[in-house]
Amino acid sequence: MEIATSPESVKEILSKASAPVGFVPTMGALHEGHLSLIKRSLAENATTVVSIFVNPTQFLPGEDLNRYPKKLDADRRICELAGVDLLFVPKAEDIYFDEDEIKIKAPPLKGYILEGYHRPGHFDGVLWVVNKLFNIVSPDRAYFGKKDAQQLFLVKKMVRDLFMDIEIVECDIVREPDGLAMSSRNVYLDPVQRERALLISKSLKRAAKMIMGGVYEAVSIKNEMRRVMEGLEIEYIEIVDRNFDKIDEVKKGDTIILVAAKVGDTRLIDNLWV
Ligand code: AMP
């Protein structure tokens, strides 16, 4: 496995690499969720590139940028063992130049609801860095998790809106055996919080059961989910279609149920694709 820290060396290495190139952008502290994206890219491409970059521009003031978990040695080993071809680990100054850069703006509607409402400007930073990373790596395919459903939607929208020649591959959510969605931020949870965090995936399981039982009304499902999550600080529970428009009735094959909640100081998100 080659390791590059500068955009120039990534371009140099990839100029000699075999196509197609698959790309998995991450913020590191890799877990099974990330690994599932990496494995899929390895299976579908001749060359797989993984990036690890804790992107400062997608964190709001007061968020966990400075304490975001860093496990570079372990991450390097995971990538090496998996068979990744190139690991890109830039520093902020390799990616951002000065205060007067050209910026990418998330769409004013879909980029500022739900996650974008609670973290205004977050998706501006996400799309800005994904754009830069796409230009550095020039992948044929890029792999994103459904765990970050709105991010996935917006990256797909950016690729379409800006006529980018990249296939975005949607990857299923990987969960702990008890149902908790894997996340680098789960390490923030103490054992009691870890137990309470389970209510999030439990509420989604309850929603799935209701839908299987023929209940499609969004209000009823959301009320029941709120009941299951009692005691957690819920930021939102929302039911949208795959275009991220709010809906009153679940439509099978075209629905995502989204949750964001805080357990202690830790903000967790999860969702269910129906
Ligand atoms: P992150 O390092 O949190 O920025 O995540 C990097 C990529 O991994 C994103 O596309 C995430 O959606 C994806 N990802 C994170 N957690 C999971 C998970 N539990 N299952 C599937 N994909 C995930």
Using the mean position of ligand 1's atoms as its centre, give its distance from the Cα of residue 33 in Å.
6
- pLDDT of 155-183, one tens digit each? 999 999 999 999 999 999 999 999 999 99
- pLDDT of 77-91, one tens digit each? 999 999 999 999 999
- Cis before 69 (ω within 30): no
Residue 34 bears catalytic tag:
yes
**Nearest CA residue ID for atom 6, ligand 1:** 26
Using the mean position of ligand 1's atoms as its centre, give its distance from the Cα of residue 34 in Å.
5
Is there a single domain that holds both residue 133 and residue 248? no
**Is residue 124 one of the residues assigned to a domain?**
yes
pTM comes to 0.98
Q: What is the mean pLDDT of the chain?
A: 98
**Nearest CA residue ID for atom 5, ligand 1:** 26
pLDDT at 260: 98
In the sheet where 167-171 sits, what is the strand order?
A: 2-4, 86-88, 47-52, 21-26, 141-145, 167-171
Is there a single domain that holds both residue 28 and residue 116? yes
Q: Please state, in angstroms and rounded to a whole number, the distance separating the CA atoms of residues 168 and 160.
A: 10
Q: Is the CB of 183 under 6 A from ligand 1?
A: yes
Q: What is the extent of the structural domain holding 39?
A: 2-171
**Is residue 140 one of the residues assigned to a domain?**
yes
**Is residue 274 one of the residues assigned to a domain?**
no
Q: Which atom of ligand 1 is nearest to the CA of 29?
A: 2
Is there a single domain that holds both residue 136 and residue 221? no
Q: Is the CB of 145 under 6 A from ligand 1?
A: yes
